[in-house]
Amino acid sequence: MNEFEDLLNSVSQVEPGDVVTAEVLTVDANQANVAIAGTGVEGVLTLRELTNDRDADINDLVKPGETLELLVLRQVVGKDTDTVTYLVSKKRLEARKAWDKLVGREEEVVTVKGTRAVKGGLSVEFEGLRGFIPASMLDTRFVRNTERFVGQEFDAKIKEVDPKENRFILSRREVVEAEAAAARAEVFGKLNVGDIVTGKVARITSFGAFIDLGGVDGLVHLTELSHERNVSPKSVVSVGDEIEVKVLDLNEEEGRVSLSLKATTPGPWDGVEQKLAAGDVIEGTVKRLTDFGAFVEVLPGIDGLVHISQISHKRVESPKDALKVGQEVTVKVLEVNAADERVSLSIKALEERPAQEEGQGDEKRQSRPRRPKRQEKRDFELPETQTGFSMADLFGDIEL
């Protein structure tokens, strides 16, 4: 009994909350036994009090003979041996130091590591201290899958620190926005309308493709992807492609850059005069029909118009009555206007004009009813009325 009291008295100087120096004696079964310097007592350091990584190997973290600075958690007295040991922690001491470093540092940027995807966001670690980044603060766009940040180190801005509530909130989005603003200012300082620049396809949408120009995403609208009409963006470019584009418009205030891919590639109308000429007879494909005619593709990207009057010698009420989209036709080139990007075509010019049947004209003429002759209009003058007439003057020669 006296020996046990002496043992307790020898360790009275060790209290929970103390920061002590200890030497690692042994490492065994996910825990290390340590000797607390200047006390004559031992402590137990478990893997859980070493790191938040539960899959870590304790032998990779501590070695026998190594000296550690630890936080005393509580006293443990053995039931059978009456030995006194202390549960100590390296992780919690680092967390305490981290809290001390964080107080008053709101709005500062620190480097953290993503540790676990949790409900509503991402759990991160900063110098042994666990923090939280809400999903809405992970990126400029809402992130549904936070798993991709687990294991990554990145910068985040401290938004809230409350050691008493164990509350540590950060924002990665603000760091990304600040970096993007700096990159945007740099890019806009270099770009000019008309420049030909190289960029990487970042993402593709139904209305075009966004090109990363090194900090700023410019848009190549669907109409500027290709000289061909009605193409799908995915049929022209793929994510990750490096392409040359022309700067069409810049709006630094709104952070918009309009780009063109087709402006950097030869157009179908370039040198068309060497490919087509009036009088050429070529094959084409009907691409679309309108009320006034049919557009026929005669060269890649070049559609010529067969006017409704040039479809057939017979009267055509609607182009749909004579042609179908996708139909292969033979046409004659009537005119090529490269300046206006217009080609006039004819189908009927390659067909013989239907011959009239013999006598058909006479029959038509004979069948026509004759118009009645117009009666000649004559003018009659009556004798002027004269005075001094007598009946004898008028009828003097008539015998009664």
What's the distance, CA 40 to chain centroid?
A: 67
* CB within 8 Å of 81: residues ≥ 6 apart: none
325 vs 68, 79, 317, 343, 345, CA distance in Å? 82, 93, 17, 18, 16
Class of domain 18-95: mainly beta
pLDDT tens per residue, the chain (400 residues)? 566 565 555 555 788 889 999 999 999 888 999 999 988 889 999 999 998 777 888 999 999 999 999 999 998 876 665 677 899 999 888 888 888 888 888 999 999 999 999 999 999 998 878 899 999 999 988 888 899 999 999 999 999 999 888 899 999 999 999 988 888 888 888 889 999 999 999 999 999 999 999 878 899 999 999 887 778 899 999 999 999 999 999 988 888 899 999 989 887 787 788 888 999 999 999 999 999 999 999 988 889 999 999 999 999 999 999 999 999 999 999 999 988 889 999 999 998 887 764 445 455 455 455 555 555 444 444 444 444 444 444 444 444 4
On whether the CB atoms of residues 284 and 328 are closer than 8 A, the answer is: yes
Q: Is the dihedral of CA 145, 146, 149, 150 positive or negative?
A: negative
Q: What is the CATH number of domain 191-260?
A: 2.40.50.140
Identical fold for domains 18-95 and 272-350, yes or no, is: yes
Q: Which fold has domain 272-350?
A: OB fold (Dihydrolipoamide Acetyltransferase, E2P) (2.40.50)
Kindly report the pTM of this predicted structure: 0.48
CATH number 2.40.50.140 given to 103-176:
yes
| Domain coordinates in residue numbering, the chain | 18-95, 103-176, 191-260, 272-350
* CB within 8 Å of 121: residues ≥ 6 apart: 132, 133, 134, 135, 136, 137, 138, 146
Measure the CA–CA gap between 180 and 214, rounded to whole angstroms. Answer: 10
